[in-house]
Amino acid sequence: MPMITKTVKIDENNIDEALIKEAGEIIKRGGLVAFPTETVYGLGGDALNPESSKKIYAAKGRPSDNPLIVHIYRIEDLYEIVEEVSDNAKKVMDAFWPGPLTMIFKKKDKVPFETTGGLDTVAVRFPIHPTAMAFIEASGGFVAAPSANISGRPSPTLAKYVCEDLDGRVDMIIDGGNIPIGLESTIVDMTGEKPMILRPGFVSREMLEEVLGEVCVDPTILDANSTERPKAPGMRYRHYAPKADMIIVRGDSDRVVAKIKEMGQNKECTVLCVSEHVNEFAGMKVKDVGSEKDYNEIAASLYRVLRECDDENTALILSESFSDKGIGAAVMNRLIKAAGHKIIDV
Ligand code: TXA
Ligand code: MG
């Protein structure tokens, strides 16, 4: 049954306490609220209520073996839901919380298996977005939230995309305007011998290694041919997928430009490229993803650009490939998934 969705605007610099309280009451009653975070919009429900988690899966159309991230608004609450916090985890918390980083811990019984997709571990994130923090506090402190998109679509970085996907499926949508980072949080598994990155994000491997020394990366993340199962169940699914066919062209930048021009000749297609190359593709339909000098800009625009291609019914997307250093690793991870691993090396 579709429900009536109330959409409200909240300015993070001047938070409307009455609206936040109303949003928190919805969560406490077992309802769903979409809200802004610094990474992407989230689809929130009470993390400690199994019925709420079931509703989240239903609203997203997501397989229920794909665990949810539990969002907190203060460090002390971590100890309520996880068994053990290692010295390494404390170092990571000191350096990056609150912020765009999620850690996996052994869970306490208090966290229902409905929230963790049946796993005995739980993913925990302490976001830094002021509206997210106020909302989590008003909700009782533990908000389970996947990205606020229908399963398989790019994560929303603007409220209009949340509305497109979730209108009629959630009780409230909080419009917090533009989202600064634009890619989901880095996920680090702290339950093994060595910390392991399960999903790259704004907090890069290099940044984590400065705090922890050596950090492993789940080998399935960038390797299209890997036969291993990704450790984050969600990384298995074809994610972040635009409706169009998408191909990435990788290699030396002159050759990449030449190859894309050749492939796009006399074809209806859209080219994704850095600002510096826009003029190279004169006569073709081009989307500027941002300057190659600022990967944060590319990260922030990627999902919006993919959604625009959907809106314009693009049949074929030809994308340049980007550096995989720093946040570039996260950009390339999402881009390769969006393309269903279709890459041409030149
Ligand atoms: O930035 C973010 O993390 C956003 C915002 C809303 O906070 N949330 C987000 O959630 O990206 P979602 O559900 O779209 O992605 C969560 C990922 C999935 O790939 C899931 O498999 C993995 O985290 N995950 C969750 N719990 C896990 C666990 N216990 N062990 C391994 N992977 C886990
Ligand atoms: Mg997601």
Give the pLDDT score at 223: 62
Arithmetic mean of pLDDT, 204-220 = 93
| Ligand 2 centroid from CA 156, angstroms | 9
Give the pLDDT score at 228: 67
Give the pLDDT score at 152: 83
| Ligand 2 centroid from CA 170, angstroms | 16
Q: Is 198 in the pocket of ligand 1 (CB under 6 A)?
A: yes
Arithmetic mean of pLDDT, 160-176 = 97
In tens, the pLDDT along 34-87 reads: 999 999 999 999 999 999 999 999 999 988 888 999 999 999 999 999 999 999
DSSP symbol at 223:
-
Kindly state the tokens that stand for 251: 């290699």
Res 267 pLDDT > 60:
yes
Residue 88, C-beta contacts closer than 8 angstroms, at least 6 positions apart: 190, 195, 212
Residue 146, C-beta contacts closer than 8 angstroms, at least 6 positions apart: 42, 43, 56, 60, 62, 66, 68, 69
Decide: 27 and 52 in contact? Cβ < 8 Å: yes
Confidence bin at 239 (pLDDT 50/70/90): low
Kindly state the tokens that stand for 323: 């550096």
Q: Is 98 in the pocket of ligand 1 (CB under 6 A)?
A: no
Distance CA 139, CA 79 (A): 18
Confidence bin at 1 (pLDDT 50/70/90): low
Numbered ranges of CATH 3.90.870.10 in the chain: 6-217
Give the pLDDT score at 236: 63
In tens, the pLDDT along 90-138 reads: 999 999 999 999 999 999 999 999 999 999 999 999 999 999 999 999 9
Q: What is the dihedral of CA 344, 294, 150, 312, to 10 degrees?
A: -70
Mean pLDDT score across all residues of the chain: 94
Of residues 219 and 204, more confidently modeled: 204
**pLDDT above 70 coverage of the chain, percent:** 96
259, amino acid identity: K
**pLDDT above 90 coverage of the chain, percent:** 86
Chain-centroid distance, C-alpha 31: 22
Q: Is 150 in the pocket of ligand 1 (CB under 6 A)?
A: no
Nearest CA to ligand 1 atom 25: 67
Q: Is 191 in the pocket of ligand 1 (CB under 6 A)?
A: no
Q: Is 171 in the pocket of ligand 1 (CB under 6 A)?
A: no
Ligand 1 atom closest to residue 127's alpha carbon, by position in its atom list: 7
Instruction: Report the candidate in 147, 145, 154 with the shortest Cα–Cα distance to residue 301.
Output: 154
Kindly state the tokens that stand for 159: 């409220």
Distance CA 59, CA 62 (A): 8
The DSSP secondary structure of 96-123, one letter per residue, reads H-SSSEEEEEEBPTTS-HHHHTT-SEEE
Arithmetic mean of pLDDT, 152-164 = 94
Res 157 pLDDT > 60:
yes
Res 11 pLDDT > 80:
yes
Distance CA 156, CA 41 (A): 6
| Ligand 1 centroid from CA 315, angstroms | 30
Instruction: Please name which ligand lies nearest the alpha carbon of 41.
Output: 1
Q: Is 121 in the pocket of ligand 1 (CB under 6 A)?
A: yes
Ligand 1 atom closest to residue 41's alpha carbon, by position in its atom list: 6
State the CATH architecture for 245-345: 3-Layer(aba) Sandwich (3.40)
Kindly state the tokens that stand for 63: 């397989």
Strand partners, 216: 196
Pocket test for ligand 1, best of 37, 43, 64, 69 (most atoms within 8 A of CB): 69
Q: Is 44 in the pocket of ligand 1 (CB under 6 A)?
A: no
Which parts of 13-168 fold into alpha helices (H)?
A: 17-28, 50-60, 78-81, 87-96, 113-116, 130-138, 159-166
Helix, strand, coil share of the chain (percent; to 5): 35, 20, 45
Res 249 pLDDT > 90:
yes
Distance CA 209, CA 327 (A): 14
25, amino acid identity: E
Arithmetic mean of pLDDT, 336-340 = 92
In tens, the pLDDT along 277-331 reads: 999 999 999 999 999 999 999 999 999 999 999 999 999 999 999 998 889 999 9
Query: What kind of fold does domain 6-217 have according to CATH?
Result: DHBP synthase (3.90.870)
Q: Does residue 98 have a cis bond before it (omega within 30 degrees)?
A: yes
Whole-model pTM: value is 0.95
Nearest CA to ligand 1 atom 13: 146
Res 232 pLDDT > 90:
no
Res 178 pLDDT > 60:
yes
Res 196 pLDDT > 90:
yes
Res 225 pLDDT > 60:
no
Numbered ranges of CATH 3.40.50.11030 in the chain: 245-345
Confidence bin at 226 (pLDDT 50/70/90): low
Distance CA 189, CA 182 (A): 22
Q: Is 181 in the pocket of ligand 1 (CB under 6 A)?
A: no
Nearest CA to ligand 1 atom 20: 234
Confidence bin at 29 (pLDDT 50/70/90): very high
